[in-house]
């Protein structure tokens, strides 16, 4: 629904990642990543923030962290990214 209704009328996407990438959609690793890729595909502006502070290791899914880190490495070549820690 978001991809079909909001992306066409939106000018910019701002996404903030902490310790979860989100849930798989069947098409992408997460709904958020799917939306970001769609924005990129049609040439719209994106700004992504990635958390670089400490997280409680007991509350972190290692697969989610791996997904975020891999996506961050990829996306840094294509768009504006920044880090935050509080």
- Kindly list the domain boundaries of the chain, sorted by start residue: 2-84
Identify the sign of the CA torsion 16, 32, 69, 12: negative
Q: What is the pLDDT of residue 20?
A: 95
CA angle 65–42–71, rounded 5-degree value:
10
Instruction: Tell me the whole-structure pTM to 2 decimals.
Output: 0.86
pLDDT per residue, tens digit, the chain (86 aa), is: 667 788 889 999 999 999 999 999 999 999 999 999 999 999 999 999 999 998 888 889 999 999 999 999 999 987 689 999 98
Exposure letters 41-66 (e unless 16+ CB within 10 A, then b)? eeeeebebebeeeeeeeeeeeeebbe
Question: Hey, which residues does 84 pair with through a beta bridge?
Answer: 51
């Amino acid at each position: 629904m978001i991809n079909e209704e909001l992306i066409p009328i939106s000018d910019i996407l701002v996404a903030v990642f902490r310790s979860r990438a989100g849930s798989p959609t069947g098409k992408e690793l997460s709904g958020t990543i799917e939306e970001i890729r769609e924005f990129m595909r049609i040439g719209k502006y994106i700004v992504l923030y990635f958390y670089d502070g400490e997280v409680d290791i007991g509350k972190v899914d290692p697969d989610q962290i791996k997904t975020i880190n891999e996506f961050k490495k990829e996306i840094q070549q294509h768009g504006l990214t920044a880090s935050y820690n509080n």
